[in-house]
Amino acid sequence: MTSAAQAIHVLIVEDDPEICGLLQRYLQRLGYKVSTALNRAGIDAAEKQQPLDLTLLDIMLPGEDGRSLCQHIRQTSASRIIMVSALSDIDDRISGLDLGADDYVSKPFDLEELAARIRAVLRRAQPETTPAEAQGVLHYRFDNWLFEPAKRALYGKTGIRVALTGSETDLLLTFCQNAHHVFNRAELLARIHSDEKNVDPRAIDLLISRLRRKLSHEGRQLELIRTIRGGGYIFDPDDRKS
């Protein structure tokens, strides 16, 4: 493990001591800095100690559940989130992704597969390797918005800042780099979840819906992301690149 990887801070939010201990020992052997927490206060304390890079978040927790904690992490941290839960139905997985999780792993899980998913999520989180920067593009302008992929944020002309999840950033970046191109669900899934083989295609519909809501904050009536008959989507901005 490189020195860069050794600085990566992973938080485990899990109430089962056996699973928590297993994950903690395994990830520490891989060279990660590992903290554990059971509630909002513990999450905030870990973030204060060292900014979180990734959180493994159980859903069924005593007190405040993982769904609420996922939203709290999104509001207070730049941490990527992988939900790890015994709730394995496709609706549970879609709900977790819709709340802002970057990935969803069902229990029981394989440790090596989980490690691979962690690496994949962290790769997508690295701003210095984003396709936008590789092309020399640091931001995009369209409609009333300024989109900065490295900051995972949209900025409106009225001064509003809208935070984006990792998946929302990846999706909007794909659209900005391919404006006026029609993507079907499978193509978008391949770009957003390239390491995930079992993501339901409906997850893209929910992600699109969430991104549309955020793009409506400025009160514009333009349909920037249009649905194409047959199951596709197209991004049709006025002015997209700068």
Q: With 50 as the cut, is the pLDDT of residue 209 above it?
A: yes
Mean pLDDT confidence for 124-130? 55
Radius of gyration of the chain (CA): 18
User: Residue 45: what pLDDT?
Assistant: 94
Q: Considering the chain, what percentage of its residues have pLDDT values greater than 70?
A: 83
Mean pLDDT confidence for 186-195? 75
Q: How far apart (Å, rounded) are the C-alpha atoms in residues 53 and 37?
A: 15
Mean pLDDT confidence for 89-115? 84
- Band of the pLDDT at 96, cuts 50, 70, 90? confident
Q: Is 15 helix (H, G, I), strand (E, B) or coil?
A: coil
Q: With 50 as the cut, is the pLDDT of residue 6 above it?
A: no
- Band of the pLDDT at 74, cuts 50, 70, 90? confident
Q: With 80 as the cut, is the pLDDT of residue 220 above it?
A: no
116-120: Cβ within 8 A, 24+ apart: 116/195, 117/82, 117/195, 117/196, 118/10, 118/27, 118/54, 118/56, 118/82, 120/194, 120/195
Mean pLDDT confidence for 94-105? 82
What is the CATH superfamily name and number for domain 3-125?
Response regulator (3.40.50.2300)
- Stretch among 38-42, 127-131, 207-211 having the lowest mean pLDDT: 127-131
User: Residue 206: what pLDDT?
Assistant: 84
**More confident call, 83 vs 96:** 83
Planar angle of CA 199, 150, 59, nearest 5 degrees:
40
pLDDT digit string, tens, across residues 223-235: 889 998 877 899 9
94, two tokens: 């879609």
User: Residue 35: what pLDDT?
Assistant: 96
Report the Cα 29 to chain-centroid distance in Å: 25
Contact between 82 and 115 (Cβ < 8 Å): no
Pick the CATH number of 129-235 from 3.30.2020.30, 3.40.47.10, 3.40.50.970, 1.10.10.10: 1.10.10.10
User: Residue 126: what pLDDT?
Assistant: 62
User: Residue 239: what pLDDT?
Assistant: 44
Q: How far apart (Å, rounded) are the C-alpha atoms in residues 167 and 194?
A: 11
So where are the chain's domains? 3-125, 129-235
User: Residue 172: what pLDDT?
Assistant: 92
Dihedral angle of Cα 163, 168, 173, 178, to the nearest 10 degrees: -140
Q: How far apart (Å, rounded) are the C-alpha atoms in residues 73 and 171?
A: 20
DSSP 131-160: HHHHTT---EEETTEEEEGGGTEEEETTS-
Mean pLDDT confidence for 92-118? 86
